[in-house]
Amino acid sequence: MPKSAPPMPPELKDYAFELLDPGTKSGEATLKVRLLDKRVEKPVADALVYAHRLDMAPDGMPTMTGKLKPEASPGPGIYAFRANLAMEGRWRLSLAAKVPGETGTVQDQLVLKAVE
C-alpha cells in the first residue's frame, strides 16, 4: 500500500494551485497552473514547482499515466508543463512546490478534462 504524503504545515494551507484551463484537447498539450497565496489573492512568483504525476485516476484508471515536462513560465506565478494526454477523459495532475520563505512543501491535486 503506497504511503500518503505527510500533512502540510498549517502555514502552507494558505497556498493553492489552480488550473488556468481545466479543459484541453487530448494529445500533446501545455498545462498551465497558477500558485496562489490565498491570504492576499496574488500569484506566487519564484516558487520551485514540479509535477509529481499525471494520471487518469478520476476516471478509475490510476495506472494510465501521461508524460510531463516543465516549460518556461509564461508569466509571474504561472507554471507550465508539456503533457501527453493520450486519451480523452479526466486527468489528475499532482503538483508540489517549494515557496520562498516557507518551510515544507505545498502539495495539491488538480483535475482537468481532455476532449477530442
* pLDDT for the residue numbered 4: 53
1 assigned to some structural domain? no
* pLDDT for the residue numbered 53: 93
What total of structural domains would you count in the chain? 1
5 assigned to some structural domain? no
35 assigned to some structural domain? yes
Give the distance from CA 27 to its chain's centroid.
18
Tell me the whole-structure pTM to 2 decimals.
0.85
70 assigned to some structural domain? yes
Task: Dump pLDDT digits (tens) for 8-32.
Answer: 565 688 999 999 988 899 999 999 9
Evaluate if residue 36 carries a pLDDT over 80. Answer: yes
% of the chain with per-residue pLDDT over 90: 72
% of the chain with per-residue pLDDT over 70: 91
36 assigned to some structural domain? yes
Give the C-alpha separation, 26 to 72, whole Å.
21
Amino acid (one-letter) located at 22: P
